[in-house]
Amino acid sequence: MAQNYVHTLFTDTARAMQEADGSRKSYARMEAGASGEPDQLTDREAEFIAARDSVYLASVTSEGWPYVQHRGGPAGFLKLLPGNRLAFADYRGNRQHVSTANLTTEPRVSLFLMDYPNRRRLKILGRARIVQADEDPALLASLMPDNYQATPERAYVIDVVGYDWNCPQHITPRFTEVEISQAIRPLTTEITQLRAEIERLRAQAKTLENGDRK
């Protein structure tokens, strides 16, 4: 675990509750190396992020209400940039602008990245900012997935503060249509071959039957 994630989230109240519950000693060891500097994403996190086709993004309204939004796209739409940053292109949607508005008053966000088939979960804390398309066209262009037919209006750029990998408990495996198709491909291939063999045997049997009648 990267120490700054828990160090950032553990308040004095949380630590007191941990002490009362008997878990504080182990969590204190997790915090021990925290310097307040951001947790640096490694190759492991980079590979995981590049494979994701969705993310849950939590922000806070100016009145303090938490808000969670799902963002998705082709695998790899969430990009890892130099400087321990993440970014993704934002497209025209329902024009409610809740997340975008939240970031104008409170930049702190939390991201959940889920790998349901393998029951893995990566949590990320960061500070986000909005970059409009006309402010940095090159950035927006670099965030566009290949051959993706959409026009980006802005980019979300997130400076990572900390991250943590969660245990797989209670994560129910779920699979996309593509993942299911890949998993059953050997079965569909075998079924196709068996059907062809059945048709061949039927044709052979019919030929023999017609021969016996002559």
| Domain range annotation of the chain | 1-35, 38-166, 184-213
Joined tokens for residue 143 = 């965030």
> For the stretch 99-118, what's the b/e string if a residue is b when 16 or more beta carbons lie within 10 angstroms of its beta carbon?
bbebbeeebebbbbbbbeee
The pLDDT tens digits of the residues spanning 110-147 come to: 999 999 999 999 999 999 999 999 999 999 999 998 88
Stated pTM of the model: 0.84
Fold type of domain 38-166: Pnp Oxidase; Chain A (2.30.110)
Phi-psi region of 191 (alpha: psi -120 to 50; beta: other; left: phi over 0): alpha
pLDDT bracket for residue 214 (50, 70, 90): low
Give the DSSP letter of residue 109.
Answer: E
Residues in contact with 152: Cβ distance below 8 Å, sequence separation at least 6, in sequence order: 89, 90, 91, 133, 140, 143, 144
Joined tokens for residue 36 = 């307040």
| Confidence (pLDDT) at 213 | 66
| Torsional sign, CA 13, 40, 158, 99 | negative
Inter-residue contact 86 to 49 (CB < 8 Å): yes
By mean pLDDT, which of 68-82, 115-129, 200-214 is the weakest? 200-214
The Cα 59–Cα 66 span in angstroms is 6
- Considering only CA atoms, which of 70, 166, 175 is closest in space to residue 116? 175
